[in-house]
């Protein structure tokens, strides 16, 4: 599918991404540009729309490392929810919820925000091969790993290096947006939630997985110490206030330990 993004510099300018870019079976290198002439590199199918050097928190910096990206999913991600909920919580259970709440459809467009290795986008593409999946992250190392895993899964995803605080998409582009574990790590969570709503269609859906404040004393100690690396935790009530401020209503929600899954609709 030919996909149109918004120039990260000129808000009203379109940049067309050729369909070959999301065909991960074949390496694609080149450039794309807007009619104003601003040009962006595509290296090994990853479209780089990041225009300036960002300042990162410690947690965000570690995600820029190749070593973190190479072990993130196989060592941490597949075990993380069992460790965080304190009960067996395989990725398949999370995928089941994703399938139920997002229910991807042919020809519809979906966005994975702060995708890391794009576990969610790959799964949605496998579920509905005729859907169009886009995934963004500002870590080049994570996107390279996402590219490897997507090719291995034969799940074509359009991988874009971009900042979720200023998404390079026009309003009402996506039928669904997913964001797994990223909310806690964001520098400006409200701005990103606003962006999720802006790029989503009126009847779109947002699937969120994030971590909430722990009730136990040891959990509180751990979460307080994670605070200095830039990771934030809210109570369920505070989280829901945040979602409402960004223009969403909670349609469904499930918490297990400190893990919270929320299905949101734009108001």
Ligand X SMILES: C[S@@+](CC[C@H](N)C(=O)[O-])C[C@H]1O[C@@H](n2cnc3c(N)ncnc32)[C@H](O)[C@@H]1O
Contact by Cβ (8 Å): 102, 124: yes
- Tell the smallest beta-carbon distance from residue 12 to ligand X (Å): 22
Helix (H, G, I), strand (E, B) or coil at 3: strand
Site residues for ligand X, window 150-209 (CB under 6 A)?
163-165, 180-182, 185-186
Q: How far is CA 25 from the centre of its chain?
A: 22
In this complex, which beta carbon is closest to ligand X, that of residue 23 or of residue 151?
151
Q: Is 100 exposed, middle or buried (0-12, 13-18, 19+ CB in 10 A)?
A: exposed
Decide if residue 114 touches ligand X (CB under 6 A).
Answer: yes
Listed residue (9, 7, 30) closest to 20, CA to CA: 30
Mask: binding to ligand X, 116-145, rule CB under 6 A, as x and -?
x--xx---------------xxxx--x---
In this complex, which beta carbon is closest to ligand X, that of residue 12 or of residue 55?
55
- Tell the smallest beta-carbon distance from residue 26 to ligand X (Å): 25
- Tell the smallest beta-carbon distance from residue 138 to ligand X (Å): 4
Among 77, 93, 201, 265, the residue binding ligand X under the rule CB under 6 A is 77
Question: Buried b / exposed e across 232-249, counting CB within 10 Å, b at 16+?
Answer: bbbeeeebbebbeebbbe
Mask: binding to ligand X, 9-48, rule CB under 6 A, as x and -?
----------------------------------------
Q: Please count the other Cβ atoms lying within 10 Å of the Cβ belonging to residue 37.
A: 9
Decide if residue 93 touches ligand X (CB under 6 A).
Answer: no
Q: How far is CA 150 from the centre of its chain?
A: 15
Total binding residues toward ligand X, as defined by CB under 6 A: 21
Among 22, 34, 45, 60, the residue binding ligand X under the rule CB under 6 A is 60
Q: How far apart are CA 240 and CA 17, in angstroms?
A: 36
Residues contributing to the site for ligand X (CB under 6 A): 60, 63, 77, 114-116, 119-120, 136-139, 142, 163-165, 180-182, 185-186
């Amino acid at each position: 599918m030919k996909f149109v993004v918004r120039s990260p510099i000129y808000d009203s300018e379109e940049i067309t991404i050729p369909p070959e870019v999301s065909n991960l079976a074949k390496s694609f290198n080149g450039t794309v540009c807007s009619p104003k002439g601003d040009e962006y590199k595509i290296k090994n199918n990853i479209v780089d729309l990041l225009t300036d050097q960002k300042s990162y928190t410690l947690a965000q910096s570690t995600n820029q490392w190749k070593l973190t990206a190479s072990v993130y999913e196989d060592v941490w991600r597949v075990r993380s929810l069992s460790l965080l909920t304190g009960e067996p919580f395989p990725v398949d259970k999370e995928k089941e919820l994703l399938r139920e709440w997002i229910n991807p459809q042919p020809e519809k467009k979906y966005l994975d925000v702060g995708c890391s290795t794009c576990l969610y986008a790959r799964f949605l593409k496998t579920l509905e091969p005729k859907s169009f999946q886009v995934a963004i992250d500002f870590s080049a190392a994570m996107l390279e790993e996402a590219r490897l895993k997507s090719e291995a899964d034969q799940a074509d995803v359009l991988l874009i290096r971009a900042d979720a605080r200023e998404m390079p998409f026009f309003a009402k582009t996506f039928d669904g947006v997913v964001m797994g574990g990223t909310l806690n790590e964001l520098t400006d969570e409200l701005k990103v939630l606003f962006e999720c709503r802006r790029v989503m269609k009126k009847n779109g859906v947002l699937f969120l997985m994030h971590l909430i404040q722990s009730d136990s004393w040891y959990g509180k100690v751990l979460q307080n110490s994670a605070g200095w690396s830039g990771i934030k935790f809210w109570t369920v009530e505070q989280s829901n206030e945040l979602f409402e401020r960004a223009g969403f209503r909670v349609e469904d929600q499930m918490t297990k330990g400190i893990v919270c899954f929320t299905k949101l609709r734009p108001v």
